[in-house]
Amino acid sequence: MGLYGVSSPLPAFITEDLLDEEWDEQDSQRGFLDIFHHQLFPLLYQAWYKYRFSHNVVEAKNEAYWQIIFSLFGLGSEEFLESVDNPYVLMRYAGILMQQPKSPAGLETILRDYLGNTGISIIPCVRRTVAISKDQQLHLGMQANTLGKDTMLGSEIDDASGKFTIAIGPVDETTFHTCFSQPDTMAFIRQLSHFYLSLPLDTDIKLIIEKNNAKSPMLGGEQWTSLGQTTWLLADSNPDTLEVSLPLDQFSLQDGPVAPFTSSR
């Protein structure tokens, strides 16, 4: 590296002349070349350092480089970065997030990795009942009154194109309760789902727990329970797996469990 030596871009005889000069205990030619080295080496270091992501982020703590990386896979907007609790987690899945079109398999892969290889399945086209806005309902003498084309009686309609379910499990008892008591996990799933989807869809979370991992509620017990979520009245006739299905936004609004009552006596 430099204007003399093995990697010099100058002819080889330049280095030979410098060696002869050094043998004669002179350094005028080398001193002249070092004038250029004094300018070139700092520029070379700056160019090398500029494109070393780890040095700039870890050592210099230059946050601007994160913005560059996020922009490479379409996440560079300040609005998005402010809406996600920990956007740096998404960098691990940049390759999947950049794929077009998006697929359920991609969402499954991200969630399975994030949840530690827990069983994940995406159930698309979940049927639901949605309200028909008044301006689109049937009115005699107005719109939506052609039989066989756009006539729909009533104020509600069955729909299978606006909702999907994320099934998680079977999980053990600890993981099951963690989904309710620690909002970070469900917050990540909610934020990922909203970003990953090309169109806004309603999302349900279905938690599946094996029957032998579920316990009946016990007053004063160590494990907290919540009606409609983690409370079971078990019997031999119960299926092998138990399920809880709730809207994803409802999971993210959980405030966590109330500490179990403990007697002072």
Asked whether residue 117 falls in the same domain as residue 227, the answer is: yes
Which tokens in the block code for residue 143?
Answer: 């719109």
The C-alpha atoms of residue 218 and residue 70 are separated, in whole angstroms, by: 48
Sign of the CA dihedral 192, 197, 200, 202? negative
193: in domain: yes
Asked whether residue 160 falls in the same domain as residue 240, the answer is: yes
246: in domain: yes
Asked whether residue 151 falls in the same domain as residue 212, the answer is: yes
Asked whether residue 242 falls in the same domain as residue 122, the answer is: yes
Asked whether residue 30 falls in the same domain as residue 107, the answer is: no
Asked whether residue 115 falls in the same domain as residue 243, the answer is: yes
Asked whether residue 32 falls in the same domain as residue 110, the answer is: no
C-alpha closest to that of 260 among 210, 215, 226, 212: 226
| Range of the structural domain that residue 134 is part of | 103-252
Q: Distance from CA of residue 45 to its chain's centroid? A: 35
Domain count, the chain: 2
CB 80 within 8 A of CB 195: yes
Does this model's pTM top 0.85? My answer is no
pLDDT tens, the chain, 265 aa long: 677 777 777 778 878 887 888 888 888 887 888 788 788 888 888 888 888 887 888 777 777 778 887 887 777 777 777 777 777 788 888 888 888 888 899 999 999 988 887 888 999 998 988 888 887 777 777 765 777 776 777 888 888 888 899 998 888 777 777 777 677 778 888 888 888 887 888 888 888 887 676 666 666 666 666 666 666 666 666 666 777 778 887 764 444 433 332 333 2
25: in domain: yes
